[in-house]
Chain A
Amino acid sequence: MSTDTSTNIQNKEFETESGVLATIKELRHSGTAIGGLLIVSLLLVMAIVSTVDIILLDNAIIKSLFGDPHEMNSLQIYAPPSMEHPMGTDQYGRDVLGRIIYGSRVALAIGIIAVGIGFFGGVTLGAFAAYKGGYVDDIIMRALETLYSIPGLVLAMTMMAILGPSIYNLFFAYGIIGIPAYARVIRSEVLSIREEEYIDAAKAAGLSNSKILFREIIPNGLSAVLVQATLSMGSVIIGAAALSFLGFGVQPPTASWGRMLNTAQSALLIAPWVAIFPGLMIFITVMGFNMLGDGLRDAMDPRTSLRSPKMESLEEYADRVDDPTKADPAGSDEWLAGTAVSGKDARKDATDGGERR
């Protein structure tokens, strides 16, 4: 063990280790993040399978399992949950479970695409504004503040009224609305990173401005925005569902959870199952993303360690030391990456110390 430690360290790329990999390694110790990841992956599988089912297989999978989500049955209107329809049927006698499964495509697509638009738009604009400074910064940030000062849902509703209610416009509307928040975060990140010594070093080494911005500054500021993206995924899904609920979003017959709740409202008394299950799915989905985002933030925050609370017991230690086969080089690497060697940690610690004084 002791002999190969030095080669181990030499082979290490500290920059990558301290950033992405260390975060992933730290995530393994967070129950919240694992739970969230499980929920999100399950939904992702559901969404992918139903998309394949719709496009390639002509609803064959869902038909064999639960019945066609688009098939109407006038004899089965508002049928309560039963063996045949585990979540009951809606006002056209369509199977609620099948529609919920298909609805996962819509929810995840909106979450991922809208957040993607907001993320890239916001990062580009915010980083550009911060790096340019001066009046460019002023104009961009003032324009984004305009977007930011109208409450999101009201703005989205107005945009949807213009563009017409459809899922593609929903992507667009929520993408645009997300831009200011990301721009703000990346802007403040860039402003603080710009003052770092390694940027001076890069300048001294003769790197071009764009290279410094895209290769040095943005990658280092990205982690903060990434956490925000994961956490805002949930609010985008809720917001889009709210729009569909109000009638401005996804239109029938496409199965979407928000739209299902819209029709469920009028039949709440006679068929509560039509309202309960779609909302529950929104809740579970958003919970999954929020858990993942929470875990991610904790893992990226160098001040909190997720694995410290559990200390190695004395027997375990004795076991490990006595038995060389149990020594786990990967485990010790992990320790290295997570704590002392990581450059970013050192930087953050230093700034913390500065604040305290």
Chain B
Amino acid sequence: MSIYRYSARRILQIIPVLLGVFSLTFVMVHALPGNPVRIYLGLNPSQSLEQELLAEYGFNQPLWKQYLDYLWRLLHGNIGESFVRKEPVSDLLMSRLGPTVTLMGLSYAIALPSALLLGVYAAATHNELGDHVSRFFGLAGLSTPNFWLGLMLIFIMAYLFDVLPASGYVPFTEDPVASIKHLILPVITLATAQTATLMRMTRSSMVEELSKDYVQTARAYGLPERRILLKHAFRNALLPLVTIIGLQLSFLLDGSVVIEQIFAIPGMGRLGYNGLLQQDYGVIIGLNIFFAILFLVGVLITDLAYAYIDPRIRYN
């Protein structure tokens, strides 16, 4: 099967999954006790106003009709309307995209190279002190709850030493220095678990590669160890890592929800958190669909990249 047919099939497979995500979140938000109008109006709302708003937004229609209406709008590229903010969810998401993507991108830009470096180092010193130390730190990084790490970093860097701001977000275009200062702590918080996970993967992948026959052959030919490590084993060890990178997206999105909350970053995660508290149907559904699309496309791209990098892979 050619790569084009394979990608076409994979893209088609995404559609039922997205339909599933939509149906699931739709059912879930409508299973929430109460409705957004109630929460919006607060205590003792006037009956007529409530009825009026319910009718205006179609919340008084039978559920199956609301479902089909929503689906119809989805098919036209509209992922929903925020009831509380009176804005399309896509606009809201776009305005919140910057901080979240900056946070996630920077974390990954730090996590990936350091994880590769540490992983290769650990594998090169397999079963020696360096390996044990990096394994320990790998496990420790994986075991540290990110919200606690965030709090501790705020406590140490912002309160004890007063070198970095405790929370908030400044766009890079407004004030680059302040922006970077505000981003350091959240990025470290998010990157720690990523680095640990990727480093462990790199290490085990490298250890496996280094135990293979071709490495022995290379050694027997007298190739310098550095060359064997970086030129031969590392390239092959990278392959399984590529598939992980797409799956990691899910953890990054999860992490951003928590970290945006701790550091008061106005990103997508915070939008979803507030949407959930306000029972803003459109925001919850829209965000879930958007996250699912991000994740599925991420996985698809890494799978295709895998085929591109490793010509031995055939699709059938």
Contacts and interface: CB of A to CB of B under 8 A. Distances in A.
Interface of A: 142-143, 145-147, 149-155, 157-159, 161-162, 164, 234, 238-239, 241-242, 245-246, 261, 264-265, 268-269, 272, 275-276, 278-280, 282-283, 286-287, 290-291, 294, 303, 309, 356
Interface of B: 13, 16-17, 20-21, 24-25, 28-29, 31-33, 127, 139-140, 142-149, 151-152, 154-155, 159, 208, 211-213, 250-251, 253-254, 257-258, 261-262, 272-273, 276, 279, 284, 287-288, 291-292, 295-296
B139 A279 contact: no
Contact of A157 (B24, B139, B144, B276): B276
Contact of A268 (B21, B32, B159, B261): B159
A142 B145 CA distance: 31
Nearest to B272: A154
Q: Point out which of B143, B208, B212, B253 has the most chain A C-beta atoms below 10 A from its C-beta.
A: B143
Contact of A287 (B31, B139, B151, B262): B139
A152 B250 contact: yes
A151 B254 contact: yes
9 contacts: A145-B20, A150-B21, A150-B295, A153-B258, A241-B147, A245-B147, A264-B151, A279-B145, A283-B145
Contact of B284 (A158, A241, A261, A265): A158
A353 to B, nearest CB: 10
A150 B288 CA distance: 6
B174 to A, nearest CB: 27
A268 B295 CA distance: 35
A154 B257 contact: yes
Q: Is the interface of B mostly helix, strand, loop or mixed?
A: helix
Nearest to B151: A275
Contacts of B213: 356
Contact of B143 (A147, A159, A234, A275): A234
A269 B156 CA distance: 10
A282 B159 contact: no
Contacts of A162: 28-29, 31-33
A220 to B, nearest CB: 22
Contacts of A275: 148, 151-152, 155
Q: Point out which of B140, B145, B250, B258 has the most chain A C-beta atoms below 10 A from its C-beta.
A: B145
Given A153-B257, A287-B143, A142 B148 contact: no
Q: Which 10 A-B pairs have the closest CB atoms?
A: A279-B148, A146-B20, A153-B254, A286-B143, A287-B143, A151-B253, A149-B292, A151-B254, A238-B145, A151-B250
Given A162-B28, A242-B258, A157 B17 contact: no
